[in-house]
Copies of this chain bind each other. A is one copy, B any other.
């Protein structure tokens, strides 16, 4: 019922398209009508939904994340990655997508992304498909 996926990220801040994993989990679940919850168990990464067509969009989003949520001299956390924790909280660590007719009810241009904010690292995410 819960699918666990492992990925290796290669950049400090980057978007990884994980839509195919979620689509596959929906098919395997056999759930026709319900929801799919994608959950990131890390505190310096997140899950978002954004454009799947032009790769410049997620490139611009990485730049905007770094500009909007910079490292700050007043930060006290010794690991030095409080900016990544802030990105995680503003992106959010999960997405809930409607499942209809055993398919994700996404818009034409939508893809589901794992957002790395403090890479490169070995990362994990969970997919749960619920009937209802």
Residues of chain A at the chain B interface (Cβ within 8 Å): 1-2, 33-35, 37, 39-43, 48-51, 54, 56-57, 59-61, 63-65, 67-69, 72, 74-79, 82-83, 85-86, 88-98, 100, 105-110, 126, 128, 130-132
**Interchain CB contact (< 8 A) of A37 among B56, B72, B74, B96:** B96
Q: A23 to nearest B CB, angstroms?
A: 15
Q: A2 to nearest B CB, angstroms?
A: 6
Main secondary structure of the interface of A (DSSP, over half): mixed
- When chains A and B are docked, how far (Å) is the Cα of A49 from the Cα of B2? 20
Contact partners of A35 in chain B: CB under 8 A: 37, 128, 130
Chain B residue with Cβ nearest A124: B107
Contact partners of A69 in chain B: CB under 8 A: 64, 68
Q: A5 to nearest B CB, angstroms?
A: 13
A34-B130, A50-B88, A76-B56 given; A82·B68 CB < 8 A: no
**Interchain CB contact (< 8 A) of A67 among B39, B72, B90:** B72
Q: Can you report 25 A-B residue pairs in the complex whose CB atoms are below 8 A from each other?
A: A37-B96, A37-B98, A39-B97, A41-B105, A41-B108, A43-B50, A43-B51, A48-B89, A49-B93, A54-B79, A56-B75, A56-B77, A56-B78, A60-B74, A60-B75, A61-B82, A61-B86, A61-B89, A64-B72, A89-B91, A90-B90, A93-B95, A96-B96, A98-B128, A131-B132
